[in-house]
Structure 1
Amino acid sequence: MRDSFDVVIAGAGPAGAQCARDLAARGYDVVVLETEPEDEFPRQSNKSTGGTFPSMMTAFGIPDDVVMQFTDTVVIESPNDHFVQEQTGAVLEFADFKTFLVEDGQERGAEYRFDARVSKPITEGGKIVGVQYSGSEKVYGDIIVDATGPSAPLAKGLGVSSLERKNQAIGLEYELEGVELDGGRPRYADLHDAMMLRLDHEYAPGGYSWIFHTGEDTAKVGVCYIQNESYQRYGTDRTVDGYLQHWMDTDPRFEGAERLEGKQHRGSAHIQPPGQLSTDNFMAIGDTVPTIDPLWGEGINKGMKSARAAAIAADHCLTPDTPDTSAENISLYDTLWHRDVAPRMDARLFITQLMYLAPNDRYDTLLRDLKRLDPDTLSEANKGNKRAIRKLLHLDDIPLLATFAKQRLRN
């Protein structure tokens, strides 16, 4: 096998596979190292709810045949209320989506090596020049990209990763059939063709739960929450499995529902600001840095955008007659990340962390506010618009803000 490429990418998730697609389309020699065996891919790494928006599919040329269900609305539930916003979406069959990205990248010329677990960076003079994988196997590249997610063996080996366990959110999802989606009760909305997110500490302390319609009477149903003790003050000693089972046992919409065999997905992501994103010859993309929408956990679009930013930066570094992959030159990726992938990250993290600290009755108030305010208030607040965020705050929130400030000082 060849041992030298223009770009070596560790990880064939959406970010890694999309980066390979873009670079191969530009004519670069690219190899992707993926932990899973080819005949099982992507069974072990099928970890996402697959909820995204048509803008992502259009921007990255994703075919409709990887979509389980197109949706028309986003629903937010609190313990005693709900809010409906017209917004189109798409719930992906995540395994089909990943398979498409890989196969399309291969057709464009990217090489894939499966059953290739990356272990550490190969360095010379303090700079990464290659990757060690599958024991003693080695491959070298002008640019190395870590797209392995939170494990981040290359980013950690280079001292680039800043992911902290206290900021880790864990999630579990089942696919169910026989779900009652038509509401039928005053506090529940009709969830046909909808993606629903529920804010309720009884089921997801320090996080949220969800129901994504996937067709007929089937849905993806899951919970996700931040593990650290500041948020878990609302929780019990249940595991993530216990919380999801508790929701299924107590929500009447699941009375006749049954789990689909083999359709269980586990995952994790970090809710925190990014640290270092790149260095000499190296970039970290996708969930290797916290490339996730902090408020609602949507990671596909963010991961794909980070992949494209990395591909643009690699092209910028490798195009000249004398390539320059220095930290200074490759930092174009950092600029693009902060501009295009996650602008206003600090403000967006503020509203996210504050919201998940709020008690359950504050969620009912939030939904009442959303109903009386301009329809764009929620989307603008999620973008980090400070004026929109202020509209959602009350004088009664001062104790909550004080608690939040003390937590930030401790951190």
Structure 2
Amino acid sequence: MSDLSWSQILAVMAAQFLPVWLALSATFALSHRLRRRLGLYGKLFDSPVGMIGLAIVLFWVFTAIFAPLIITHQPLAQISGLKNALPGAAIASAEAGEFGHYLLGGDSLARDVFSRMVMGAQSVLAIAPAATAFAFMVGITLGLPAGYFGGKLDTALSFGANLVLAFPVILLFYLLVTPEIQNTGPLLLGWRASIPNSMAAILFAFPILFFTLLWQTRYFTNPPRRNLFVGTTLVLGLWIYAGLAFNADPTGLWAMEPNLLNVFVSVVFVNAPTVFRIVRGLTMDLKSRDYIAAGQTRGEGPWYLMLWEILPNARGPLIVDFCLRIGYTTILLGTLGFFGLGVSPESPDWGSTINSGRKLLSVFPHPAVVPALALMSLVLGLNLLADALREESLKD
């Protein structure tokens, strides 16, 4: 079996991504047909920049979803003789039914670079959007009352946010992963909680609080529906909360490995103050509008006005910032992986892969260049998407 040329490599890679192409085609066809009913998302189809950004982002989203169908080898599998193999290298010992080439070459441990790049998308897209969403719930839950009520509450919360923002990010991550910090923490109910677990116990409670307030204020005059939504939120929320924060889910469905918990908590902790400041500023601007005065005249409560009047009218800037912040988080995760502070060392996340390939960058660049290009393209797509969303939101 001979090595593949670059044209053959590209053709085989295109075939491997067939599930992604089909999913992209179906998504764009359906979205274009319903674009007039899809609000801000539908308006992206009038922006070439937005379409390009959306296509890049959805490409990696579908790659993460269909990764088991796309990869040609297991990301941890090592094949003798393919250490630092060049792209298109043939596998001399390939058995029947086994893929016969390393499409993008092998790394320093003779693992398939193409498969690790594909599986790395799962690592990034499993953490970045979820951690960003948690950070937004923390920032929104604290930013709304700070901007609406002002006074001592605003002063105290703003001081805390500025204090966190003044702390060096990388140093924070170094502190959270050290054994001394891992084994140090308060004694809760006879169990020694590490500092990351203690932070998780606080930060992960905000989504429960956010949705409870959301349903309570929306259906206050309809007790049966309010009780249903609030009860469901508390049951599901506390179940997920116990599993993620304390690894106490008896079913094992909701759980985080210690390394992943450290990364997740740190990302939320770092991003939440910035979201808080954005939401606070928007709230201070919007609370003086006429529709807020009209709501106060009707006798609406402060939390109803914050969650159902101010927040919907602030959705444009927040959606744009959400996309940008996912990009920042992606870069941050890559940086952490590069410094060995990310998830487990054998994980195929892009940052760790770049770090392992940089030592031979001048001789065998492909193990580091491939995940670097993947990381760059995802961040580029998110930035283009955010720019298009900003332009479209300003037209409203």
* TM-score after normalising by structure 1: 0.27
Larger Rg: 2
* TM-score after normalising by structure 2: 0.28
- Give the number of the structure whose residues are more often strand, by fraction: 1
